[in-house]
Amino acid sequence: MERKKRSEQLRYLVLTAVLSAMVYVLTAFIHIPTHQGYIHVGDGIIYLAAALLPWPYAMLTGAIGAGLSDYLSGYPLWVLPTVIIKALTVLAFSRSKPSIIHKRNLIGLVPAALIGIGGYYVAGAILYGSWAAALVDIPTNALQCVGSAALFVFLGLSLDKLSFKERFLLTTQKSRSHS
């Protein structure tokens, strides 16, 4: 039994590393510059991580991928807010179903957007020293949430067609019934 648990943890760590790298690449290299930073679809991979992994691993995915992107892209002041916001975003999703895309995760896109937009508004207000100045970031953060949601749904539906959770992860109903 201990060997099975270690194998499961190794799968989670490997998927965490791969998804963290994907978040980093989609955030740092494939983005659109804005007046205060950039917009990207890397959050879509964070949402995917939240639908696949236990929450501590998914939180690490967002924190590592997005935090590294901010730091290495020249926005070190944003690393701490990003790590906190991306970790909290994960809590909007569920991995309890055998599929990635299901009603709970589609509904979860709304609180994820609110956490992202609201979190960066508060962080911006603190960093800029003005609640009014932080308002300027809301439209671009909303656009980022929409793009990330579209990527999440596309990837989730694609991976569901491949039965990814059942084939790769040990957390599906099928594997639970054999334990």
Which CATH number does the domain housing residue 42 bear?
1.10.1760.20
Domain that holds residue 113: 2-177
Angle at 172 between CA 66 and CA 18, to 5 degrees: 25
Q: Record the pTM.
A: 0.91
Label residues 63-86 b or e (16+ Cβ within 10 Å = b): bbbbbbbbbebeeeebbebbbbbb
- At 170 the pLDDT is 55
Question: Mean pLDDT per 10-residue run, the chain (179 residues)?
Answer: 86 96 96 85 98 97 97 95 98 95 98 98 96 95 97 98 86 41
Distance CA(163)–CA(154), nearest Å, equals 14
What is the dihedral angle through the alpha carbons of 142, 17, 159, 4, rounded to the nearest 10 degrees? Answer: -140
- At 34 the pLDDT is 84
Distance CA(145)–CA(57), nearest Å, equals 21
Q: Where are the beta strands (DSSP E) in the chain?
A: 31-33, 38-40
- At 175 the pLDDT is 41
Count the domains in the chain.
1
Nearest to 52 by CA among 20, 24, 83, 81: 20
